[in-house]
Amino acid sequence: MTQDQAYIGRQPIMNAKQEIVAYELFFRHSAEATTAVYENSLQACNRVLVNTISDMGTLWLLGDKLAFLNISEEMLHSELLELLPPTKTVLELEAFVAPNAAVLERCEFLRKRGYRIALKDKGESLVGSALIDYADYVKIDILAYTMDEVARRFLEYQILGVTVVAERVEHHHQYDACHNIGFPLIQGFYFAHTETFTAKVINPAFSAVLDLLNMISRDADMREVEHGFKRDAALSFKLLRYINSVGFGLSCEIQSLRHALTIIGTKQLYRWLTLLMITAGENSAAPALMKTSITRGRLTELLGEGYFDKTGRDNLFVTGVFSMLDLMLEMPMDRVLEKIDLPDATQDALLHREGIYGPFLQLAEACENQDNNRIIALAESLQLDPNKVNDAHIAALAWVEALGV
């Protein structure tokens, strides 16, 4: 598996009318693979799944359907799990998950959060298991039993009030038998072999920064912002280190997140997060691409100094930095913008190089490309001295070097 690609296998789960109501999602080690592979650590596989679902929960993957996701015991206890949307996620516990007190407590917590739990019967009844009380679904592997035994198991679980799924239904006669037994949900190759999709993985830190940027854009309560930081220990550490740096010149050390957020203020926090998003995570963009995007942001900001107030210049900075996100995430800009709440003027510039910020972004790009004719033409249209444009470019380069990016 390449570092920045994840592969998700998707198999539909149908109701009695053969309408798709859910998908089970599987980890794949390549786009061509047809079976799940566990040669990497199970935790790594699950981490990829969480990151990918966070990014891939779009119409083409799930639409309005539920996602059944295989969960190891290790993953069950991970806070990463809580990045998944509760109303769309069914946590399918692996057979080896032991129903100890910690597991039961965690299942109870997750169900209160809105997640649903599915268990697997692979030839051994779950009636009497401590976990059955927390189950919303039980999947019966029909190949582990005769059809008469499947029917008995179905009735046992139905009495307990769980939704029963017939799994591994591969042939027409099996489908007919399960339909006659009364299974409300059926899954298996009889309907469709597993499809495989590919998507760029967004690193957890990247996702956390993105969430915080969106919170600030919609003027979220500072307690919500604080909670967003607390979900990512590395983010909290970076904020406290930043605010206690020499550049802030504070007389005492800031040790609490709440105090740090009060001091930094939302505008400066947004700007800092913008930079952090470009550099966040182990599988962030290549260093050269990061440096170019930050330089472009600073240059776009400097070019607008005579035109805009502080808020406008901050927007120019964000416009420049984000103008390369499509390259970094390897997805079209319109899809990138579905994930970030940005002003309309910034979106116009990013999508079409138009609007009030568009010409400044175009000029910054012309400087990068050393396109002298275009630089002169754009500078003239903005009534800027080409020499001052050159000075701004040099200043932007120096500023980024000083950041140590």
Tens-level pLDDT at each residue, the chain (405 residues):
344 444 455 677 888 887 778 888 765 444 444 444 433 444 445 554 555 454 444 433 455 688 898 887 877 887 767 767 788 889 998 765 668 899 999 999 999 999 999 999 999 899 988 899 999 999 999 999 999 999 999 999 999 999 999 999 988 889 899 999 999 999 987 665 555 555 555 555 677 888 888 898 888 888 888 888 877 666 776 787 777 765 566 667 776 778 888 888 888 888 888 877 776 654 455 556 677 888 899 999 999 998 999 889 888 998 998 898 887 777 788 888 887 778 899 999 999 999 999 999 999 998 887 777 899 899 999 999 887 888 888 888 878 766 655
Which tokens sit at 351? 């999508």
The predicted pLDDT at position 302 comes to: 96
Between the alpha carbon of residue 371 and those of residues 8, 235, 363, 366, 368, the distances in Å are: 43, 39, 10, 5, 8
CB 75 within 8 A of CB 42: yes
Exposure letters 291-306 (e unless 16+ CB within 10 A, then b): bbbbbbbbbbbbbbee
Per-residue pLDDT at 245? 65
326: exposed, middle or buried (Cβ count in 10 Å: 0-12, 13-18, 19+):
middle
Q: Interhelix angle for 204-217 vs 257-279, to 10°?
A: 120
Collapsing DSSP to helix, strand or coil, 396 comes out as: helix
pLDDT at 157: 96
pLDDT at 1: 36
Q: What is the pLDDT of residue 202?
A: 56
- pLDDT in the model for residue 165: 97
According to the model, what pLDDT value does residue 57 have? 44
Distance of alpha carbon 113 from alpha carbon 86, whole angstroms: 7
Q: Are 214 and 228 in contact (CB under 8 A)?
A: no
Specify whether the CB–CB gap between 95 and 122 falls below 8 A: yes
Q: Check residue 344 and give its pLDDT.
A: 92
CA 316 to chain centre: 26
* Confidence at residue 283, expressed as pLDDT on a 0 to 100 scale: 44
User: What six digits make up the tokens of 120?
Assistant: 């697997």
List, for residues 119-178, the tens digit of each pLDDT value. 999 998 999 888 999 999 999 999 999 999 999 999 999 999 999 999 999 888 898 999
pLDDT at 343: 85
CA distance 60 to 53: 12
